[in-house]
Chain A
Amino acid sequence: GAGVSQSPSNKVTEKGKDVELRCDPISGHTALYWYRQSLGQGLEFLIYFQGNSAPDKSGLPSDRFSAERTGGSVSTLTIQRTQQEDSAVYLCASSLDDGGYGYTFGSGTRLTVV
């Protein structure tokens, strides 16, 4: 597609429920990144996918968080048993190869856990 697409744009969920966030990167971009941004804060790295390599999950805050990338394209970030501290904007970005030409971000999913 023309840009990075994220869905849903907003999600309100009850504490304890599971949520799935979707990212559709730019076609041909081999690298995909997930970040989390709490209100007024910087971007917190979550997970990185590059081609068919094993993902770098070093930023995932707990085992309630997981992500997959099917067919080297669409990625889903899953948060199980959501907590109020999970409330944030979840941003996805993609890039050609290793990002030497910059990263393209989606508009994010604003997650609110009530």
Chain B
Amino acid sequence: SQQGEEDPQALSIQEGENATMNCSYKTSINNLQWYRQNSGRGLVHLILIRSNEREKHSGRLRVTLDTSKKSSSLLITASRAADTASYFCATRSGGSYIPTFGRGTSLIVHP
């Protein structure tokens, strides 16, 4: 079964709006990472948040982590058409070296 699950499965917004997607996971983690995938090819690392961190920023990206709820959110502010992609969260549970990925959120930003 998937360790991390993204929600919603699909998100459609207008350029300039903010996009928020969530990730829920089941077991305790060392860190949580967000990735972006264009056109079903390689994933690009966006941001990593460690289990002892609550919030992290990178440019227009803001990630939060709530370990009590076993959830994370990725906020993309002032979205652009170029942000259109699938977004995945990856988690590593305490005893494993293997990152597991959810099914992703498909984001479409309309110009």
Contacts and interface: CB of A to CB of B under 8 A. Distances in A.
A113 B84 CA distance: 29
A33 interface: yes
Contacts of A82: none
A103 B31 contact: no
Given A48-B97, A48-B98, A101-B48, A108 B41 contact: yes
Interface of B is mostly: strand
A39 B104 CA distance: 12
19 contacts: A39-B40, A42-B102, A42-B103, A43-B88, A50-B97, A56-B97, A56-B98, A89-B41, A91-B42, A93-B43, A98-B92, A99-B92, A102-B48, A103-B99, A105-B43, A105-B44, A106-B42, A107-B41, A110-B40
Interface of A: 4, 31, 33, 35, 37, 39, 41-43, 45, 48, 50, 56, 59, 89, 91, 93, 98-108, 110
Contacts of A45: 98, 100
Interface string B39-77: 011111100100000000000000000000000000000
Contacts of A99: 92, 97, 99
Interface of B: 2, 30-31, 33, 35, 40-45, 48, 88, 90, 92, 97-104
B40 A98 contact: no
Nearest to A59: B98
Given A43-B88, A98-B97, A100-B31, 18 more contacts: A35-B101, A41-B103, A43-B43, A45-B100, A50-B97, A89-B40, A91-B42, A93-B43, A98-B92, A99-B92, A101-B48, A102-B33, A103-B43, A103-B45, A104-B45, A105-B42, A105-B44, A110-B40
